[in-house]
Amino acid sequence: MRVMREILRQPAALFGLLIVLVVVTMAIAAPLLAPFDPDNQMFDGLTLEGAPIAPGGPFLLGTDTLGRDLYSRLLFGARNSLIIGLVANGIAVSIGLLIGITAGYARGWISTILMRFTDLMMAFPALLLAIVLAALLKPSLWIVAMVIALVNWVQVARIVYTETRGLVERDFILAERALGAGHGRILFLHVLPHLVPTAIVWGTLGIATTVLLEATLSFLGIGVQPPDPSWGNIIFESQSYFQAAPWLVFFPGAVILLTALAFNLVGDALRDILDPTQRGRG
């Protein structure tokens, strides 16, 4: 409740929250909102010369090169992209937190194994790994999300590890041990809360990169499979027509940018609101 009140008091956070709500509503209500079937290649969706139709008229945001309604595709694409952005990214941040915090707190051989594994993953080209994984498993939305999660946790783990190492050196952790607090208590009550800001910032920053990584995978034929739309694959399908039909890149690009910005604004506000040391400051 307090979090809600604080967000309502900050214009930027409120703006972000509204956009997030709009995007989520669009994704959920896509079948109701979409004027056309997103996969239908309509005859009147192309000019007589076979070129896509510019925005305005019956097609609000124009049509793509196959004569499909762009607005409808963006609405349905929001479903896939949000699932990728939120689920894949959420899993990646969770894996990163878990591995980083364990390695940072445990020390010794557990830490060595976990961090050397993280380094190995970091050195490995992420795209190549994703291609291999996607090729082994039959591509579907959820598999793509898993693949992205398995690639993206590495940076989070590295940063969380470093922060945890610094935290456990601080006196208040030693004070906890002197009180007889167990590992679980120290980790969850005293270390984890300090990592929440990092997790929030990475989580929100990661949404845009995740959406784009999915687009890359789609381009290589191992992402969300056509004709299913995602914001990423709409851009990649149309990029060679950028000169002739710029709206095909502009609209999905703007949607990705706006969504990422909105999540960032909300994330930043959350980080400040959840930090008690910021409370009561001007």
Residue ranges in contact with other proteins by CB under 8 A: 108-109, 112, 170-172, 174-183, 185, 189-190, 193-194, 275-277, 279-280, 282
CB count within 10 Å of CB 48 equals: 5
| Residue 191 token pair | 């270390």
Nearer to other proteins, 76 or 161 (CB): 161
Could you tell me the smallest distance in angstroms from the CB atom of residue 153 to other proteins?
A: 23
Nearer to other proteins, 136 or 178 (CB): 178
Could you tell me the smallest distance in angstroms from the CB atom of residue 190 to other proteins?
A: 5
Distance CA 99, CA 150 (A): 12
Nearer to other proteins, 57 or 182 (CB): 182
**H or E segment at 218?**
helix 192-219
Distance CA 85, CA 209 (A): 8
Could you tell me the smallest distance in angstroms from the CB atom of residue 60 to other proteins?
A: 45
Distance CA 59, CA 57 (A): 5
Could you tell me the smallest distance in angstroms from the CB atom of residue 194 to other proteins?
A: 6
User: Residue 154 CA to chain centroid, in angstroms?
Assistant: 15
Distance CA 146, CA 152 (A): 10
Distance CA 219, CA 225 (A): 10
Nearer to other proteins, 2 or 138 (CB): 2
Nearer to other proteins, 4 or 174 (CB): 174
Distance CA 39, CA 28 (A): 18
- Answer whether the bond into residue 226 is a cis peptide, omega within 30°: no
Distance CA 18, CA 280 (A): 26
| Residue 26 token pair | 């669009």
Residue corresponding to tokens 């789609």: 218
Could you tell me the smallest distance in angstroms from the CB atom of residue 168 to other proteins?
A: 12
Nearer to other proteins, 43 or 109 (CB): 109
Nearer to other proteins, 125 or 180 (CB): 180
Could you tell me the smallest distance in angstroms from the CB atom of residue 27 to other proteins?
A: 34
- What one-character-per-residue DSSP string does 144-174 give? HHHHHHHHHHHHHHHHHHHHHHHHHTSHHHH
Could you tell me the smallest distance in angstroms from the CB atom of residue 193 to other proteins?
A: 5
Could you tell me the smallest distance in angstroms from the CB atom of residue 265 to other proteins?
A: 21
Distance CA 122, CA 155 (A): 8
Nearer to other proteins, 41 or 111 (CB): 111
